[in-house]
Amino acid sequence: MPLSKSFTAKIVADEIRNIAEEQNKSRLQPQDVIDYINLGVLRVFEKLDKNFYQTTYNLAVNSDSLDISALNVDSIIKIVDQTNGKLIKTGADEIENLTDNSRKQSNIYYYQEGETLRLYKGSNISTYGIMRLVYVRGLELCTKETDFLDVPDKLVPEVLEIAKNITYEKLNTATKKVDKEK
């Protein structure tokens, strides 16, 4: 769910169109407008503390492989099995060798492979419990002007300024190309 509760992409889109009109440029394509907005949102996102995007989700686990594609996971902070405790992050190569290590049979290990979580439950653990996944979700980009911006409301003016600067830059670049062709 986007962070902004008050501002949709339309507020930025209107400003971008005003700039195009002021510059007496041909109308921007709707996708150009959305792209400029998303570039502004992305630049603000890159500077933000990722705690703004921290999310928790409970997973019912019944196999050693979990599809997390619907969650939009950017990075995992931690996973806690409510029955067995905190999971230990490991690598793909390491998880293959855990069965051979007798000291590692009282824990649950995980690694993320794209949009899949791979789990290993030590032989001393009878079953997985409900797992609480704490993660940083990925940025939600706008696809239409009615979408809310995925930045805190107080940072929407910064998105607006960045998108306006991108618009000026793109329109001036287009003008220079046309002038050179004449």
pLDDT tens, position by position, for the chain (182 residues)?
Answer: 889 999 999 999 999 999 888 887 666 788 999 999 999 999 999 999 988 999 999 998 989 999 999 999 999 999 999 988 999 999 888 877 787 777 788 889 999 999 999 998 888 988 898 999 999 999 999 999 999 999 999 999 999 999 999 999 988 865 444 445 54
Q: Is the pTM of this model over 0.85?
A: no
Counting other chains too, the contacts that 29-37 makes at CB distance below 8 Å and 24 or more residues apart are 32/170, 33/145, 34/9, 34/142, 34/143, 34/144, 34/145, 36/12, 36/163, 36/166, 36/167, 36/170, 37/9, 37/12, 37/13, 37/142, 37/149, 37/159, 37/163
In terms of DSSP H, where are the helices of the chain? Answer: 9-22, 30-47, 92-96, 156-181
**What confidence score (pLDDT) does residue 174 get?**
52
In angstroms, the first-to-last Cα distance of the chain is: 48
Question: What is the phi/psi pair of residue 91, to 5°?
Answer: -100, 165
**What confidence score (pLDDT) does residue 24 get?**
74
